[in-house]
Amino acid sequence: MSNSELLVQKFGGTSLADLKGFNASADIIESYAAARRVIVVLSAVKGVTDLLLEAIDTAVEGGNGAHYMEQAIDSERSITDELSKRGISTPLASEFLEEQHATLTRREEGIRLLGQCPDEARARILASGEGFSSRLMVDLLQHRGLSAQWSDTDVLPLANDSWLDSLVDIEAAVPLLAQRLEEGAHITVLPGFYGRNADGGIQLLGRNGTDYSAAAIAAATGASLCQIWKDVDGFFSADPRIVSNAQCLDEVSYDEAMELTYFGAKVISAKALAPLAGKQIPCEVRNTYDPSKPGTLVHSGAERTHVVRGISHLHDVTSITLQGGGLRGRVGIARRVMDALASESISILLIVQSSSEYSITLCVRRADEIKARKALEEEFHFERLHGLIEEISVQSDRAVVSLVGDGMKRYRGIAARFLTAISSAGVNVEVLAQGSTECAIAVVVKGEAAQSAMRACHTAFFSHSTHIDVILLGCGNVGGELLAQFQRQAESLREHHADLRVRAIADSNRLLVADDVLDLDCWREDLEAKGRPWTIDDVIAIRENLGLLNPTIIDCTTDEDLALQYVRFLSNGFNVVAANKKANTASLDYYREMREAAAKNFRKFLYETNVGAGLPVIDTMQGLMRSGDQLKTFEGILSGSLSMIFGLMEDGMPLSAAVAKAMEMGFTEPDPRDDLSGMDVARKLLIVAREVGMQLELDDIDVEPAVPLDAVSHVDRSELINALQSLDEDFATRIRAADAEDKVLRYVGRIEDGKCRVAIEAVPARKPLGAIRDGENALVLHTHYYQPIPLVLRGYGAGGAVTAAGVFGDILRTVWRPLDQQAG
C-alpha cells in the first residue's frame, strides 16, 4: 500500500525537553499538516524515561524510588503549569498526569515492598512518559485550532511476547491503522515506545523505541515519508559532541545508516531502519530547532561515489575471548557460542575467529557481561575441565569504533588508512572485523581511547590534511627559531595539506600545555606566565589527555637525561625528532633499544640535524647503505666553530685572536672550550660511524682536542683568551710547516680502517677539506660506489636557522605519506 499523502513525524526527547521544544514541534506539525495528513509519534519529555527507570531500580533495592518518580512528574508538570499561566488549558495531559501521579506512587511502593519489579509492571511504568507527552501535544494542537486526535497504540499489535523489547506485527497493523486514519482527525498523535498485545497489555519496543514506532507506522501505512526530528541538523559523519568538525551528511543509504547506528550513532535507533528499508520509505532526519535546514535523507537512492560516510562508536562494550588448542579443527564452536548467548537473550555485537581457529573473540554490551561469561563457562565446562580451553578472558570497558560507507568496496587501502589513523593517535587495536558486505570495518579498542581514535579517523577521512601534534622541549636558539619557522610556514603547509599544531612547549623549568594550539605570537610571555614545573610523566600524559594525532616530541635541548627518555616516548606512542645528539651517542645498548622501540611501536625516530645541522647527511647515508653501498673512508669537518677558527688562523690570525673573533661572531658555545675539547666532533663522528654499522662506543673514538686541554682547563672563562696566547706561537709554527707543503690545518673527524679519530690534520689545500672554512662543514665519503671521486656534502653545519629547518624537515617526515598526495 502506498499512501502518497501521508507523512509520519517523530519527535524525540531532545525535541520535547520543555515548552519551547513542544511549541517548536507543534509549529512544524502545523506547517506540514497544512498540505497533507500527518501521523505524529512522540517520545517522553527529555529525561523522563531515565528517571522512571531510576525510580524502579532504586525501589527494587529498597531505596527511595518515589523521589525519582516525583522528579519525572515535576518535569512534566512544569510544562502544563507554564501553559496554564499563559491561559492555555491542557485537559488531556493534566488529567493523565494526576491519574499517573497516583498510580506511579502506588506502584513504587509495591516494588519497594516486593523488592522486585516484574517486566509487565516495568513496561507500564516506563510507557507513562509517552502517554503524557502525546496527550500534551494533542492539547497544544487543538488549542491552535487544528484537527488533532490522540490515538492509543492498540493499532500496533505485537509480533512477540517480550515485555521490554518487542516487535510490531506490521502486516497485522495495516488494517488497524487504515481504519484509525479513516475514522480519525487530520492529525493523529500517538505515543511512541510501546504497543499493545492481544490482552491490551503494554509491551515496550526497546530503549529509544519511538523511532521504531514511527518506522513501523510508516511501513504499515505506506507513508511517503518518515521524518525524525531531533536537536541536531541531521546525521553527522561522527557524533558531533565528540568530533567538533563532524559534517552533516546530505544523504545515507539504509545499509550505511544501519551500520552507523548499530555501532553507536544515536541518530535513529538501529531497529527502526529495517521496516523503513523493507518498504523503501525515505526518512529525513531534521532539526526541530532549525527546520529551515534540509537535514539528512536516508533512502535507497543514496549516491555511492563517496568512500566513507561516517564513523561511529559504541561504549560500554565487553570483549570476551575463548582460546586454546582444543578449539582447533572442531566443528560447531562458533554455533555453540552463539547458542549459549542467545539462550540468555544476549545479543552479540561482533564476533571474530582467528584464522588458526585458536581463538574466538566476541563483544557484548557491558550490561550483559556477567550473564555472558556465565553462559560461556557453562557451555564450555567440559573443554575447560580438560584444558582444551584456557580461562575465558573478559575485557571490560571496551569500545567499538566503526568506519561505514557503501563506497568502501570499490576503493583499496581503506582499512590501511583506518588503522594508520588509529595508530597515529597511539591507540591499540585489539580486535578488527570487517563484514562481508564491506560496508563497515570495526575495531575494538580500550574505552578511554575511543575518543582519540574517533577524532583521528575523522581527520583521516574527512579532512584532507594530515595533522601533526607537536610538543617542543627546549625553546632556546634552535627551538625558538623553529617556532618562528612554524609560524611563517603555517599558511603554505595548509596549502600542502599539513596541519602542524604546537600543543605544548617547555624549557628546563616550565611546561606550557595548550588545550587547543599554542599562540605562537606570544609563546615566550605565555610560557613565562602560565608554564608549570614539569616531569617526563607530564609530557607523556599529554597524548592521552588531549587525544593527540601523530604526536611528535621535538628535543631541541642538549640534555642527556632527556635523551635517555626517548625509549619511553617511543613506547608511549610518540614520534621523536631530536636535534639533541646525546641519545645517539649514549651506550650502544640504548642506541639499539631506541630503534627497537620505534620499530615495535611504528613510530619514527629522526635526527637529521645531529650531524651537519641542516645538511642532508643522515638521510643520504641511510639511502646509500640501503642500496648496498659500503663506506671505505670518511673524513669531515664537523664543527662550524672550529671551521671558523682554523680558517681565521690560515689567514694569519693567532689562535687566541681567532677564538675571540669566532666567539664574538656567535660561532662558538658560550664556553669555547666545549668546542675546543673536540667532544662535539667526536659525538658526530660516532653517529656517522654507527650509521654505517660500526659497533662503537664514545670511548672508542680517539680524540685529540683542538688545543691541549691542560693548558686552558684551569683558567676562568674570562681568562681563556689570555691563556690561549701561550699556544699562539706553537700553532703559527705548525701552520707555516703545513703551508710549506701546500697544506692547511683543519680539525678533522676521520673513519679509516675500522678506526675513528678526531684530530688536527694538515690536509692538501686543493683537496675538498682544504677549502672548508668560515664556519662551513663538509663531509667527504669515499664509498664503494663513490670512487675515486668521493661524495661531498658541504654547507653551513650550524646556526639556529639551518638547524631548525632540518628539524622542521624531520617533523614533516614523521607522517606516513608525502604531504602533496593528501588531497582527495
Hey, what's the cell of 556? 631541541
Task: Answer whether 217's CB lies under 8 Å from 178's CB.
Answer: no
Binding mask 294-333 for ligand ADP (x = CB under 6 A): ----------------x-----------------------
How buried is 532 (Cβ within 10 angstroms: 0-12 exposed, 13-18 middle, 19+ buried)? Answer: exposed
Binding-site member from 12, 636, 799, 800 for ligand ASP (CB under 6 A): 12
Q: Does position 207 bind ligand ASP by CB under 6 A? A: yes
Instruction: Name the binder of 265 from ligand ASP, Mg ion, ligand ADP, none, CB < 5-8 A by kind.
Output: ligand ADP
Smaller CB distance to ligand ADP: residue 421 or 712? 421
Q: Does position 210 bind ligand ASP by CB under 6 A? A: yes
Closest CA to 572 of 663, 697, 449: 449
Instruction: Name the binder of 129 from Mg ion, ligand ADP, ligand ASP, none, CB < 5-8 A by kind.
Output: ligand ASP
Q: Does position 749 bind Mg ion by CB under 5 A? A: no
Binding mask 535-564 for ligand ADP (x = CB under 6 A): ------------------------------
Give the nearest distance from C-beta 211 to Mg ion in angstroms: 8
Span from 229-237, 359-367, 507-515, 802-810 in contact with ligand ADP (CB under 6 A): 229-237
Binding mask 173-192 for ligand ASP (x = CB under 6 A): -------------------x
How far, in Å, CA of 594 to CA of 590, rounded? 6
How buried is 318 (Cβ within 10 angstroms: 0-12 exposed, 13-18 middle, 19+ buried)? Answer: buried
Span from 201-209, 413-421, 619-627, 653-661 in contact with ligand ASP (CB under 6 A): 201-209
Q: Which of residues 38-57 bind ligand ASP (CB under 6 A)?
A: 43-44, 49
Hey, what's the cell of 97? 498526569
Q: How many CA atoms lie within 13 A of 761 on its CB side?
A: 17
**735-763 in b/e burial notation, b at 16+ Cβ within 10 A?**
beebeeeebbbbbbbbbeeeebbbbbbbb
Binding-site member from 52, 104, 111, 265 for ligand ADP (CB under 6 A): 265
Q: How many residues does the chain have?
A: 824
Q: Which of residues 8-47 bind ligand ADP (CB under 6 A)?
A: 12-15, 43
Smaller CB distance to ligand ADP: residue 231 or 739? 231
Residues in contact with 176: Cβ distance below 8 Å, sequence separation at least 6, in sequence order: 154, 155, 156, 157
Smaller CB distance to ligand ASP: residue 44 or 442? 44
Span from 154-162, 237-245, 454-462, 731-739 in contact with ligand ADP (CB under 6 A): 237-245
Q: Does position 650 bind ligand ADP by CB under 6 A? A: no
Q: Which amino acid is at 477?
A: N
Q: Does position 455 bind ligand ADP by CB under 6 A? A: no
Hey, what's the cell of 30? 502545523
Span from 204-212, 680-688, 739-747, 748-756 in contact with ligand ASP (CB under 6 A): 204-212
Binding-site member from 236, 574, 646, 667 for ligand ADP (CB under 6 A): 236
Q: Which amino acid is at 790?
A: P
Q: Is residue 788 reached through a cis peptide bond, with omega within 30 degrees of 0 on the bond before it?
A: yes
Give the nearest distance from C-beta 259 to ligand ADP in angstroms: 12
Q: Which amino acid is at 298?
A: V
3-state secondary structure of 444: strand
CA angle 448-450-454, nearest 5°?
A: 150
How far, in Å, CA of 36 to CA of 201, rounded? 32
How far, in Å, CA of 297 to CA of 301, rounded? 10
Q: Which of residues 116-145 bind ligand ASP (CB under 6 A)?
A: 129
Q: Does position 13 bind ligand ASP by CB under 6 A? A: yes
How far, in Å, CA of 703 to CA of 757, rounded? 6
Catalytic residues: 684
How far, in Å, CA of 80 to CA of 356, rounded? 63
Q: Write phi, then psi, for 789 (nearest 5 degrees).
A: -85, 125
Instruction: Name the binder of 49 from ligand ASP, ligand ADP, Mg ion, none, CB < 5-8 A by kind.
Output: ligand ASP
Binding mask 652-681 for ligand ASP (x = CB under 6 A): ------------------------------
Q: Does position 189 bind ligand ADP by CB under 6 A? A: no
Q: Which of residues 205-244 bind Mg ion (CB under 5 A)?
A: 208
Size of the site for Mg ion (CB under 5 A): 3
CA angle 762-767-772, nearest 5°?
A: 75
Q: Does position 94 bind ligand ASP by CB under 6 A? A: no
Smaller CB distance to Mg ion: residue 12 or 612? 12
How far, in Å, CA of 504 to CA of 513, rounded? 4
Smaller CB distance to ligand ADP: residue 53 or 679? 53
Q: Which of residues 12-41 bind Mg ion (CB under 5 A)?
A: 12-13
Instruction: Name the binder of 193 from Mg ion, ligand ADP, ligand ASP, none, CB < 5-8 A by kind.
Output: ligand ASP
Hey, what's the cell of 408? 568502501
How far apart, in Å, do the first and last CA atoms of the chain sit? 43
Closest CA to 9 of 169, 223, 172: 223
Which residues are registered as beta bridge partners of 750? 635, 757
How far, in Å, CA of 16 to CA of 309, rounded? 29
Smaller CB distance to ligand ADP: residue 442 or 576? 442
Smaller CB distance to ligand ADP: residue 240 or 616? 240
Give the nearest distance from C-beta 215 to ligand ASP in angstroms: 11
Closest CA to 551 of 504, 485, 488: 504
Closest CA to 672 of 729, 616, 597, 747: 747
Closest CA to 560 of 585, 596, 592: 585
Give the nearest distance from C-beta 51 to ligand ASP in angstroms: 10
By the criterion CB under 6 A, which residues form the site for ligand ASP?
A: 12-13, 43-44, 49, 129, 192-193, 207-210
By the criterion CB under 6 A, which residues form the site for ligand ADP?
A: 12-15, 43, 208, 230-232, 235-236, 238-241, 265-267, 310
By the criterion CB under 5 A, which residues form the site for Mg ion?
A: 12-13, 208
